[in-house]
Amino acid sequence: MFRSRILFPVMGIALAACAPTPKKADAPKAQVAAAVAENPFFKASTLPFQAPPFDKIKDADFQPAIEEGMKQEIVEVERIANNPDAPTLDNTIVAMERTGALLARVGKVFFALSQSNTNDVLQNVQKEEAPKIAAHRDAIFLNPKLFARVKALYGQRDTLGLDAESKRLVERYYRNFVRAGAELSPSDQTKLREINKELSSLGTTFRTKLLAGTKAGALEFDSVDALAGLSDADIAAAAEAAKARKLDGKWLIALQNTTLQPAQESLRNRATREKLFMASINRTEHGDDNDTRTTISRIAELRSERAKLFGAKTYADYVLEDQMAKTPARAIKLMTDMVPAAVNKAKGEAAAMQKLADKDHVKLAPWDWQFYSEQVKKTNYQLDENEIKQYFQIDNVLQNGVFFAANKLYGITFKERHDIPVYQPDVRVFEVFDKDGTSMALFYADYFKRDNKAGGAWMSTFVDQSGLLGTKPVVFNVANFTKPAPGQPALISRDDVITMFHEFGHALHGMFSNVKYPLLTGTSVPRDFVEFPSQFNEHWADEPTVFANYAKHYKTGEPMPAALLAKIKAAGTYGQGFATTEYLGAALLDMAWHTLPRSMTQRDDVDAFERAALKRYHINYALVPPRYRSSYFAHIWGSGYAAGYYAYLWTAVLRDDAFYWFKEHGGMTRENGQRFRDMVLSRGNSEETDVAYREFRGRDPSVEPLLIERGLKAAKPGTQK
């Protein structure tokens, strides 16, 4: 069955500057048949691991394959739904697992390329197919005959003699149908469709207003004096930005999405800093067309109604029921437990800054934070990013760092393959061999920035591991590291190094998957678990044996000098008070909105609500406002993180807690790695994530290691760091 949940959020993203649709003339039948015969998606790839035949795939192949893929899947699903035989695991749920092969094949490649190597044709296909795929999904999940069979099997699951994974599969199918509305009465299904429709259009409204409000919030300056402190390059960029808006001879500073504005780090003019801060926090609260407050209160209200249709107390209850946290109370407790330490550390950071500010006769305000924080950093740590980079040559980091760590922990080895076709010449392919030398996966690395690549870094798959389908994983990592000029070495920053380890942690989760059913494969786990293997893998970047193996000067091959390493370590937890506090403010606001006791309709209520919520959670430290205020919190109103922003912290707790298990049990050994692989990385979603974690750790996760790692709490004597 086609996992549209993967394609969905991406296809929902607003698409800028789409080319107009070319008018298609009706093609004669013979021509269509010929096109089908040539379309590489219509049959399984004959390459090793069924890797996509990028040498044969053309842009024009995607849309017909997606359309035909949906058609085929509906035929397959109808056949299952209308089967006159009584439902069995095989003739219903396993049969569903086998459906949609064509759609999965094309969907995975399409999803990958529309993110990492897009163009007008792909963008247009995305725009045209997104609503059709949404309707396709409803056609499956709201098919009453199909649901009746799934429900019957669910009712008999304890008496069918199922193995543990098959039972889990039945439960997940039933749950997915129920959560899509299959169990609601026809009138409630009608209500649900209406709510979904209004929510989807309010989401678009919010994104449009936020985009316009952010654009309008840019600051204009008549004199360059106001920008003192910015680098020449930044000042030139500000002049360019003004020119682009036909404000020749002026300077413009555009707003970034967060409350914090990067320019505040260097702006010496205090009035400019204040103006920028006020523009940021009020961008969507001017009472004009771009004001989002009525939109977000309506979204919160509708979500609450939607949750009630499903019998959940609040929207957060509905969302978290399907996550590792299970209840809003548990997610909230994790965060509120951390509030005192985070705010305390932030207050310590403020005290250090106030000392410098005193010299300027400044009493620290929120718009001064980044400026004085940067001063403290320069004075105390003297870090030079360019000096550090010379020790991080990308291929060295990949093969002698990332791969080396995976070999030490899991015994796997890598061999580059030049015979597997790629979608872009910078992409590299490695075959991965298991500890016993068996070929187990393909790994693609696409690290360099391109104009047609989305920002950030991510992992996904071209082929998922499945015992049922006999497929082995084909996994890729994508990033946006600066591409060197021809002939120059690719040197990356320390953040980039961590990103490589992070994304490779996701890759391991996909490659070690050892399950039968596609629905339960690899990284198909809840959002508040999926970032655990990736964040966990970051730790090995700093493991002394690993670090010494890759951090070598690109020219001389000399290891990084101890003094430089010491500086990096010393700066390690600097700024964590601010970062944790601003994050907790936003994450708790998210929870407050989605555990709403009553509906909100008045525009002013939004601000009162926000103030009250921050106060209730004791995260109302005026010097550190939330990373996003409610009115411009795109994660929760405009994309998929509603009642889910806590997940970043939730998985960070698992990351550090699991790492401390390693520390307590002899560190980086093959034995420990194998245990982690068997108990966590290989299981996909075949077990409840909290059960799997408890088995690995011997108890529930503890927040203590994270507090120590972030410098929010002192390590116990005897604990090494």
Phi, psi (rounded to 5 degrees) for 444: -105, 135
From the CB of 534, what's the least distance to Zn ion, in Å? 4
Q: How many CB atoms lie within 10 A of CB 392?
A: 23
From the CB of 505, what's the least distance to Zn ion, in Å? 8
Residues 707, 584: Cα–Cα separation, whole Å: 14
Strands (E), 222-372: 251-253
In terms of Cβ atoms closer than 10 Å to its own Cβ (0-12, 13-18, 19+), residue 46 is: exposed
CB-wise, 349 or 531, nearer to Zn ion? 531
CB-wise, 456 or 544, nearer to Zn ion? 456
From the CB of 623, what's the least distance to Zn ion, in Å? 30
From the CB of 536, what's the least distance to Zn ion, in Å? 11
Residues that bind Zn ion (CB under 5 A): 531, 534
SS3 state of residue 515:
coil
Q: Which amino acid is at 404?
A: F
From the CB of 454, what's the least distance to Zn ion, in Å? 14
From the CB of 90, what's the least distance to Zn ion, in Å? 36
SS in 3 state form for 279-304? HHHCCCCCCCCCCCHHHHHHHHHHHH
CB-wise, 63 or 534, nearer to Zn ion? 534
Residues 370, 378: Cα–Cα separation, whole Å: 12
Instruction: Exactly one of 73, 129, 349, 503 is catalytic; name it.
Output: 503
From the CB of 651, what's the least distance to Zn ion, in Å? 9
In terms of Cβ atoms closer than 10 Å to its own Cβ (0-12, 13-18, 19+), residue 17 is: exposed
Which residue sits closest to Zn ion, CB atoms considered?
A: 534
Distance of alpha carbon 687 from its chain centroid, rounded?
22
Q: In what order do the strands lie in the sheet with 413-417?
A: 413-417, 428-433, 439-448, 474-481, 458-463
561-to-391, 396, 552, 555, 556 alpha-carbon distances in Å: 10, 17, 9, 14, 12
CB-wise, 317 or 531, nearer to Zn ion? 531
From the CB of 400, what's the least distance to Zn ion, in Å? 23
Is residue 671 part of the annotated active site? The answer reads no
**Residue 431 parent element (H or E):** strand 428-433
DSSP annotation of 479 reads E
CB-wise, 460 or 686, nearer to Zn ion? 460
CB-wise, 501 or 637, nearer to Zn ion? 501
615-to-16, 585, 695 alpha-carbon distances in Å: 39, 10, 38
Specify the length of the chain in residues: 721
Residues 650, 425: Cα–Cα separation, whole Å: 38
From the DSSP assignment, how many helices (H) and strands (E) are in the chain? 29, 7
User: CB–CB of 619/195 below 8 Å?
Assistant: no
CB-wise, 143 or 534, nearer to Zn ion? 534
CB-wise, 76 or 531, nearer to Zn ion? 531
By annotation, the residues acting in catalysis are: 503
